[in-house]
């Protein structure tokens, strides 16, 4: 369809009635004496542009409007200059390394003397850009940035086992150049959910942008700062795994978040609003529905470019993303620890060894579901398979001092058999000692100490002292040693059990025994 230049006044009137008067196509046609089909054609052309209000259309010249609506392939003004295709220019500027100067050069080579000078070219572009929304005016290079945030609202589901409602969070991410959107529901905004959403986000995009721009969420940003935000170590670790850099949006800087805020609004309108009447029984059901809505959002044509987000993604952004790593990121927790005197660190109620030379040093632990890694000043000094046995020990032979390594091949059975050379009471006590120790190796050392008491005190005395310890339920090498030292194995007097009752240190889990002395022994007069 062609339109006479003089008829563009009527076209502008159609748009004024459409925006200002909120008239229907039938009412506009009747008011202006136009056919309803003609009015419909004008509005369809308008919907393919970025103009969304009368204030954006009113200042346009008839020639500019004629060109924008596509009535002519190119508009030649009175001075015989060809107006560039600004929609094409805007799209090309999102590609890596493309500049306005380069596009002007290409435009000039095509149109020769009919091309605007560079200064006029820039002026016309700025006029076009000024008519775009804030979000569309922001120029983001393809593959450069992903904007990430949570929606203030989220979907809900009903737990069928309890009948209770559960509110979810809506995670939203958008690629800067193509506005390609990813969204999903999570139970919380905690660090495990936050990082897991990033994993699925990258897999949905099929690649990774250079920069992640999250809002200053506590899960990802430990401390917001205008110049250098302090990131959570796990979030930094996740970004490093994917080869991305995290640059949080600056506080009180709405332009930093305009892209994602607009996408959150789209997600609320095209996901939450669409799903408002549906009943869900699980998080899985919600996400299946969300991803169906995502397909609609990403394949819907955007009026300002007459292309869908998916089309733009495939044209300008997909090829600029970094490839996904070969291994999926596994959530890992970080914690500062101090090496105990037994050359082990404590993480999640289990102890892991490091080189004994690092005793009392401050280290960092990176713990995934399967591996414990220990770092000193950024360098890994130990790695263990993760154990979930509370109170257990995981020890590597090379971390032990030489005196410990000499006994590292011993087994509980071997130690018990050796103790039987002294007597059955001693062997029973050795078994009890090893059973009560947190670390088997600690039990071995205590048992060896008990066996070696036979050298200065003799087998018979050690056997009798071991029997007294068993009677009292005090399974300790130190207790037997004190009995022998104070010659209490020969005494017929009883021990004051309340006075010698051992105490357990809550931090080290070690048994603390009082020193045995005369005050702990009941004399013959006690019973009269």
Q: What is the DSSP string of 337-378?
A: EE--TTSEEEETTEEEE--GGGTT-EEEEEE-SSEEEEEETT
What residues contact residue 341 under an 8 Å CB cut-off, 6+ apart? 359, 360
- Tokens read off for 30: 């009747």
Q: 84-88, 416-420, 503-507: lowest mean pLDDT where?
A: 503-507
Regarding predicted confidence, which is higher, 494 or 96? 96
Match 């401390």 to its residue by tokens.
223
Q: What average pLDDT does the chain have?
A: 78
Residue-range domains of the chain with CATH:
5-137 (no CATH), 145-320 (3.30.420.10), 333-400 (no CATH), 410-527 (no CATH)
Query: How much is the pLDDT for 511?
Result: 45
pLDDT in tens, 492-518: 555 555 445 555 444 444 444 444 444
Eight-state DSSP code of residue 317: I
Residue 225: pLDDT band (50, 70, 90) is very low
Residue 302: pLDDT band (50, 70, 90) is confident
CB 351 within 8 A of CB 361: no
pLDDT in tens, 13-35: 888 888 887 888 888 887 777 77
**Residue 296 and residue 180: Cα distance in Å, rounded?**
12
Segment 250-273 shows an average pLDDT of 71
pLDDT over 50 at 175, yes or no: yes
pLDDT over 60 at 134, yes or no: no
Distances, alpha carbon 245 to alpha carbons 145, 502, 504, in Å: 9, 55, 49
Regarding predicted confidence, which is higher, 255 or 71? 71
């Amino acid at each position: 369809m062609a339109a006479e230049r003089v008829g563009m006044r009527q076209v502008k009137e159609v748009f004024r009635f459409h925006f200002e008067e909120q008239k229907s196509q039938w009412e506009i046609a009747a008011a202006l004496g136009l056919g309803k089909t003609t009015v419909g054609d004008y509005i369809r052309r308008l919907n393919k542009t970025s103009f969304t209000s009368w204030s954006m259309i009113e200042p346009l010249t008839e020639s500019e409007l004629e060109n924008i609506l596509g009535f002519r392939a190119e508009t030649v003004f009175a001075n015989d200059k060809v107006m560039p295709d600004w929609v094409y220019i805007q799209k090309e500027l999102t590609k890596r390394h493309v500049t306005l100067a380069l596009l002007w050069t290409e435009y000039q080579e095509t149109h020769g003397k009919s091309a605007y000078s560079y200064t006029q070219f820039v002026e016309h572009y700025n006029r076009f850009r000024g008519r775009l929304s804030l979000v569309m005016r922001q120029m983001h290079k393809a593959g450069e940035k992903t904007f990430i945030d949570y929606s203030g609202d989220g979907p809900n589901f009903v737990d069928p086992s309890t009948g209770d409602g559960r509110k979810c969070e809506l995670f939203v991410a958008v690629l800067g150049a193509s506005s390609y959107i990813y969204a999903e529901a999570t139970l919380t905004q905690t660090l495990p959910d936050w990082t897991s959403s990033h994993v699925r986000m990258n897999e949905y995009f099929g690649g990774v942008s250079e920069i992640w721009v999250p809002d200053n969420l506590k899960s990802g940003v430990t401390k917001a700062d205008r110049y250098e935000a302090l990131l959570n170590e796990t979030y930094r670790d996740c970004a490093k795994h994917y080869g991305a850099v995290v640059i949080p949006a600056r506080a009180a800087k709405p332009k930093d978040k305009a892209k994602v805020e607009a996408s959150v609004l789209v997600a609320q309108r095209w996901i939450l609003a669409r799903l408002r009447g549906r009943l869900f029984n699980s998080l899985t059901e919600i996400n299946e529905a969300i991803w169906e809505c995502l397909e609609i959002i990403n394949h819907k044509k955007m009026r300002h470019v007459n292309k869908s987000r998916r089309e733009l993604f495939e044209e300008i952004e997909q090829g600029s993303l970094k490839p996904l790593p070969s291994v999926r990121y596994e959530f890992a927790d970080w914690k500062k620890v101090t090496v105990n005197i037994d050359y082990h660190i404590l993480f999640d109620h289990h102890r892991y060894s490091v080189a004994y030379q690092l005793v009392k040093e401050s280290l960092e632990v990176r713990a995934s579901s399967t591996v414990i890694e220990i770092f000193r000043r950024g360098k890994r000094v130990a790695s263990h398979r993760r154990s979930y046995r509370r109170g257990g020990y995981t020890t590597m032979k090379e971390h032990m001092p030489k005196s410990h390594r000499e006994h590292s091949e011993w087994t509980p059975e071997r130690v018990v058999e050796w103790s039987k050379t002294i007597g059955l009471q001693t062997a029973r006590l050795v078994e009890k000692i090893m059973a009560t120790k947190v670390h088997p190796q600690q039990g071995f050392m205590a048992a060896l100490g008990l066996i070696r008491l036979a050298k200065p005190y003799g087998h018979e005395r050690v056997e009798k002292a071991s029997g007294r310890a068993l009677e009292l339920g005090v399974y300790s090498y130190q207790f037997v040693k004190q009995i022998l030292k104070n010659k209490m194995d020969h005494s017929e007097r009883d021990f004051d059990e309340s006075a010698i009752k051992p105490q357990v240190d809550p931090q080290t889990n070690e048994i603390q025994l009082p020193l045995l002395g005369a005050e702990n022994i009941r004399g013959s007069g006690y019973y009269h």
